[in-house]
Amino acid sequence: MQVSLSGKTALVTGASRGIGRAIAKRLADAGANIAFTYKASEEKAHALQQELTSLGVKALALKADAVSFSEAQTVVDKTLSAFGSVHILVNNAGITRDTLLMRMSEAQWDEVIANNLKSAFNYTKAVTRSMMQQREGRIINITSIIGLVGNAGQANYAASKAGLIGFTKAIAKELASRNILANAVAPGWIDTEMTDALADELKKQMEASIPLKRSGTAEEVANAVLFLASPLASYITGECLRVDGGMAM
């Protein structure tokens, strides 16, 4: 079955590279107009915008700091002005600042919580009013299996991603009466620019621990997002869908 998002508008945060980029491309390929944010990678953002428009949809690249609520509101306002509505919000922006807790600075803790968790609050709050008025919306938060199982050296990241899952369930209950569905996607070990920089031996060890014996792709995460954004998931809300090859079983 071919999934169509024709006539819909999606806003994807942190989409200039990696999983966010794959999500923006997959939703555009299904026919959605795309607004997306980036923080620093201006050249990559403009390249993505051109790539999206070549698929026959409208695309809008917006520079913003996900930590800032005022900038999030400005992004949503500009998206509404350009496209008239936001049907799908994908909260993907996030960072890592890995180190053992005993060495972790307050700044490293605060930075990760702000970028990974507060950013989702910022954008969700900014789009909620318009989604409630149109009585339709999909909010999809990109969490991680680390938020489910934890990981040494990632206390800040694990806390932020676990918080996203709780946030997802809470807003799912708050917004369901207005036909706004909220779900989370929890990727496992995914091939991205971030993992490319790791030592080959570490990659082999990680892949050996996965039941499917391979890393996942950003496109496989994007497919899960497309499913949750589509009419195929019209009776699913408050769920956390793992895309991890069985890693967190």
pLDDT in tens, 43-98: 999 999 999 999 999 999 999 999 999 999 999 999 999 999 999 999 999 999 99
SS3 of residue 128 by DSSP: helix
| pLDDT tens per residue, range 164-213 | 999 999 999 999 999 999 999 999 999 987 777 677 887 888 899 999 99
pLDDT of 200 reads: 83
Asked whether residue 4 is domain-assigned, the answer is no
Mean model confidence pLDDT for the chain = 95
Look at residues 89, 91, 81, 92 and name the one whose alpha carbon lies nearest to residue 58.
81
**Predicted local confidence at residue 128, as pLDDT:** 97
Looking at the domain assignment, is residue 248 inside a domain?
no
> Is residue 3, in this structure, part of any structural domain at all?
no
Report yes or no on 161 lying in a domain.
Answer: yes
How many Å apart are CA 201 and CA 242, to the nearest integer? Answer: 25
123 catalytic per annotation: no
Instruction: Report yes or no on 2 lying in a domain.
Output: no
247: in domain: no
The pair of structure tokens assigned to 75 is 């992004």
> Measured between alpha carbons, how far is residue 141 from residues 187, 210, 218 in Å?
11, 23, 15
We report the CATH number of the domain holding residue 171 as 3.40.50.720
Q: How many domains does the chain have?
A: 1
Active-site residue among 38, 123, 157, 235? 157
Residue 1 has a pLDDT of 62
Q: Measuring CA to CA, which residue among 165, 82, 66 is closest to residue 125?
A: 66
Range of the domain at 102: 9-242
Task: Identify the residue with better confidence: 1 or 29.
Answer: 29
On whether residue 62 sits in a domain, the answer given is: yes
pLDDT per position as a tens digit, 146-157: 999 999 999 999
Q: Residue 79: inside a domain, yes or no?
A: yes
